[in-house]
Amino acid sequence: MFCLADLERAAGLVRDHLPATPQIPWPLLQRRTGAEVWVKHENHLPTGAFKVRGGVVFADRLYRDGSGSRGIISATRGNHGQSLAWAGHRFGLPVTIVVPFGNSAEKNAAMAALGATLIEHGTDFEEAREEAHRRAAAEDLVFVPSFTPDLVKGVATYALELFQSAPPLDAVYVPIGLGSGICGTILARDLMGLSTRVIGVQSAGADCYAQSFLAGHVVPGNRADTKADGIAVRQPDPEALRIILAGADRILTVSDQQIAAAIRAYWTDTHNLIEGAGAAPLAGLIQEGESMRGKRVGLIASGGNIDLALFRSWVG
Question: Hey, which of 74-83, 96-105, 182-191 has the most confident mean pLDDT?
Answer: 182-191
Among 286, 264, 284, residue whose Cα is nearest residue 275: 264
Upper half-sphere CA count for residue 6 (Cβ side, 13 Å)? 16
Contacts of residue 100, defined as CB under 8 A and 6 or more positions apart, other chains included, come to 77, 120, 121, 122, 123, 124, 125, 127, 128
Kindly give the pairing relationship between strand 36-41 and strand 23-25. Answer: antiparallel
CATH hierarchy code of domain 4-50+149-315:
3.40.50.1100
pLDDT at position 77, please? 83
CB-CB contact of 174 with 282 (8 Å): no
pLDDT tops 80 at residue 207: yes
Per residue in 109-144, pLDDT tens?
999 999 999 999 999 888 999 999 999 999 999 999
Fold equal for 4-50+149-315 and 52-143 = yes
User: Which residues does residue 202 pair with via DSSP β-bridges, in sequence order?
Assistant: 253
Q: What is the pLDDT of residues 6-38, one digit of tens each?
A: 999 999 999 999 999 999 999 999 999 999 999
- How far apart (Å, rounded) are the C-alpha atoms in residues 76 and 95? 12
Locate all alpha helices (DSSP H) within 180-296, ordered by sequence. 180-191, 208-215, 238-247, 256-270, 276-288
Q: Distances in Å between the alpha carbon of 269 and those of 39, 45, 112, 279, 296?
A: 12, 20, 33, 13, 18
CA distances from 17 to 12, 56, 255 (A): 9, 8, 36
Domain ranges across the chain: 4-50+149-315, 52-143
Architecture per CATH, domain 52-143, reads as: 3-Layer(aba) Sandwich (3.40)
pTM of the model as a whole: 0.95
| Distance from C-alpha of 114 to C-alpha of 100, rounded to nearest angstrom | 19
Give the closest residue to 229 by CA, choosing from 51, 79, 82, 108: 79
